[in-house]
Amino acid sequence: MTKKVKMTEILPHSGIMKNNEHIFPVRVYYEDTDVGGVVYYANYLKYLERARSEMLGMLAIDQAEMLHYNKADDVSFVVRRCEVDFKLSARLDDCLNVRTQIINLGGASIIMQQDIFKNGICIIEAIIKIAVIDKSGKPKKLPKLIAEKFEKLL
Protein backbone atom coordinates (compact mmCIF):
# COMPACT_ATOMS: atom_id res chain seq x y z
CA MET A 1 0.00 0.00 0.00
CA THR A 2 1.36 3.40 -0.96
CA LYS A 3 1.60 6.09 1.70
CA LYS A 4 -0.08 9.34 0.69
CA VAL A 5 2.05 12.40 1.34
CA LYS A 6 0.20 15.46 2.54
CA MET A 7 1.70 18.58 1.03
CA THR A 8 0.79 21.80 2.79
CA GLU A 9 2.20 24.06 0.08
CA ILE A 10 3.23 23.21 -3.44
CA LEU A 11 6.08 25.50 -4.47
CA PRO A 12 8.15 25.77 -7.66
CA HIS A 13 11.38 23.75 -7.45
CA SER A 14 13.45 26.93 -6.91
CA GLY A 15 11.07 28.17 -4.26
CA ILE A 16 9.43 31.55 -4.03
CA MET A 17 10.27 35.02 -2.79
CA LYS A 18 7.61 36.17 -0.36
CA ASN A 19 7.91 39.56 1.32
CA ASN A 20 11.54 39.67 2.50
CA GLU A 21 12.24 35.93 2.56
CA HIS A 22 12.94 33.03 0.25
CA ILE A 23 10.97 29.83 0.80
CA PHE A 24 12.44 26.63 -0.64
CA PRO A 25 10.64 23.25 -0.66
CA VAL A 26 12.44 20.03 0.25
CA ARG A 27 11.12 16.50 0.30
CA VAL A 28 12.93 14.00 2.53
CA TYR A 29 14.18 11.05 0.50
CA TYR A 30 15.34 7.65 1.70
CA GLU A 31 18.96 8.65 1.04
CA ASP A 32 18.56 11.51 3.56
CA THR A 33 17.67 9.23 6.45
CA ASP A 34 19.20 6.76 8.83
CA VAL A 35 17.96 3.19 9.26
CA GLY A 36 15.08 4.49 11.40
CA GLY A 37 13.79 6.82 8.70
CA VAL A 38 14.96 9.97 10.53
CA VAL A 39 16.92 12.67 8.65
CA TYR A 40 20.65 12.44 9.42
CA TYR A 41 21.66 15.74 11.05
CA ALA A 42 24.25 16.78 8.44
CA ASN A 43 21.62 16.63 5.71
CA TYR A 44 19.85 19.64 7.20
CA LEU A 45 22.99 21.63 6.32
CA LYS A 46 22.59 20.44 2.72
CA TYR A 47 18.99 21.64 2.69
CA LEU A 48 20.12 25.04 3.97
CA GLU A 49 22.84 25.24 1.30
CA ARG A 50 20.42 24.35 -1.49
CA ALA A 51 18.01 27.02 -0.29
CA ARG A 52 20.75 29.68 -0.28
CA SER A 53 21.85 28.66 -3.79
CA GLU A 54 18.29 28.83 -5.14
CA MET A 55 17.75 32.20 -3.47
CA LEU A 56 20.89 33.57 -5.19
CA GLY A 57 19.59 32.28 -8.51
CA MET A 58 16.24 33.99 -7.95
CA LEU A 59 18.13 37.23 -7.22
CA ALA A 60 19.97 36.80 -10.57
CA ILE A 61 23.30 36.26 -8.81
CA ASP A 62 25.17 33.71 -10.95
CA GLN A 63 27.56 31.86 -8.65
CA ALA A 64 28.86 29.59 -11.41
CA GLU A 65 29.75 32.55 -13.63
CA MET A 66 31.44 34.42 -10.78
CA LEU A 67 33.70 31.42 -10.09
CA HIS A 68 35.48 32.22 -13.36
CA TYR A 69 36.53 35.60 -11.91
CA ASN A 70 36.29 37.30 -15.30
CA LYS A 71 34.94 40.55 -13.83
CA ALA A 72 36.45 42.75 -11.15
CA ASP A 73 33.33 42.34 -8.98
CA ASP A 74 33.33 38.53 -9.09
CA VAL A 75 33.39 36.93 -5.65
CA SER A 76 32.69 33.63 -3.94
CA PHE A 77 30.54 32.98 -0.92
CA VAL A 78 31.73 30.59 1.81
CA VAL A 79 30.20 29.66 5.13
CA ARG A 80 32.23 31.30 7.88
CA ARG A 81 30.04 30.37 10.84
CA CYS A 82 27.02 28.16 11.34
CA GLU A 83 24.84 27.95 14.46
CA VAL A 84 22.11 25.32 14.30
CA ASP A 85 19.43 24.48 16.82
CA PHE A 86 17.89 21.06 16.12
CA LYS A 87 14.40 21.30 17.64
CA LEU A 88 12.56 18.35 16.06
CA SER A 89 13.35 15.67 13.51
CA ALA A 90 12.12 15.23 9.98
CA ARG A 91 11.37 11.77 8.62
CA LEU A 92 11.20 9.93 5.33
CA ASP A 93 8.68 11.51 2.91
CA ASP A 94 8.20 14.67 4.97
CA CYS A 95 7.71 17.86 2.97
CA LEU A 96 9.74 20.70 4.42
CA ASN A 97 10.11 24.40 3.70
CA VAL A 98 13.41 26.20 4.23
CA ARG A 99 12.89 29.90 4.92
CA THR A 100 15.85 32.22 4.41
CA GLN A 101 16.08 35.85 5.46
CA ILE A 102 18.98 38.28 5.23
CA ILE A 103 19.44 39.78 8.68
CA ASN A 104 22.69 41.73 8.28
CA LEU A 105 24.98 42.90 5.50
CA GLY A 106 28.56 43.63 6.49
CA GLY A 107 31.39 44.92 4.36
CA ALA A 108 32.57 41.42 3.43
CA SER A 109 29.89 39.25 5.04
CA ILE A 110 26.21 38.37 5.01
CA ILE A 111 24.29 36.97 7.97
CA MET A 112 21.20 34.91 7.23
CA GLN A 113 18.50 33.38 9.39
CA GLN A 114 17.46 30.03 7.96
CA ASP A 115 14.67 27.97 9.46
CA ILE A 116 13.26 24.64 8.35
CA PHE A 117 9.54 24.06 8.83
CA LYS A 118 7.49 20.88 8.78
CA ASN A 119 3.71 21.35 8.65
CA GLY A 120 4.14 24.96 9.74
CA ILE A 121 6.25 24.03 12.79
CA CYS A 122 9.88 25.19 12.99
CA ILE A 123 12.09 22.12 13.41
CA ILE A 124 15.50 23.68 12.68
CA GLU A 125 16.77 27.20 13.42
CA ALA A 126 20.07 28.34 11.95
CA ILE A 127 22.13 31.50 11.78
CA ILE A 128 24.60 31.36 8.90
CA LYS A 129 27.42 33.86 8.43
CA ILE A 130 28.68 33.98 4.86
CA ALA A 131 32.09 35.42 4.04
CA VAL A 132 32.69 37.14 0.72
CA ILE A 133 36.07 36.21 -0.76
CA ASP A 134 38.17 36.85 -3.85
CA LYS A 135 39.85 34.29 -6.10
CA SER A 136 42.75 33.83 -3.65
CA GLY A 137 40.40 33.22 -0.72
CA LYS A 138 40.93 36.59 0.93
CA PRO A 139 38.01 38.69 2.22
CA LYS A 140 36.59 41.04 -0.38
CA LYS A 141 34.04 43.83 -0.06
CA LEU A 142 30.56 42.77 -1.14
CA PRO A 143 30.09 44.19 -4.66
CA LYS A 144 27.61 47.07 -4.82
CA LEU A 145 25.24 45.40 -7.32
CA ILE A 146 25.01 42.26 -5.19
CA ALA A 147 24.63 44.27 -1.99
CA GLU A 148 21.72 46.17 -3.56
CA LYS A 149 19.96 42.89 -4.37
CA PHE A 150 20.39 41.67 -0.80
CA GLU A 151 19.33 45.03 0.67
CA LYS A 152 15.89 44.57 -0.91
CA LEU A 153 15.46 41.56 1.41
CA LEU A 154 16.36 43.39 4.62
pLDDT score recorded for residue 15: 93
Catalytic, 34? Answer yes
The pLDDT value given to residue 68: 92
* Residue 11, pLDDT score: 58
Intervals of the chain under pLDDT 50: 1-7
pTM for this prediction = 0.89
Give how far Cα 98 sits from Cα of 69, 119, 132, 145, Å. 30, 12, 22, 25
The reported pLDDT for the residue numbered 6 is 46
DSSP string, 49-67: HHHHHHHHHHTT--HHHHT
Task: Decide if 22 contacts 152 (C-beta within 8 A).
Answer: no
| Contact predicate 66/133, CB 8 Å | no
In angstroms, what CA-CA distances link 23 with 8, 14, 52, 96, 136?
13, 9, 10, 10, 32
Domains (range + CATH), the chain: 18-151 (3.10.129.10)
Catalytic residue among 34, 62, 73, 85: 34
Model pLDDT, residue 13 = 82
**Residue 154 confidence (pLDDT):** 87
Calpha distance 104→150 (Å, rounded): 9
Residue 22 to residue 53: CA distance in whole angstroms: 11
The torsion angle over the Cα atoms of residues 24, 27, 30 and 35, rounded to 10 degrees, is 80
pLDDT value, residue 152: 87
Q: How much is the pLDDT for 5?
A: 45
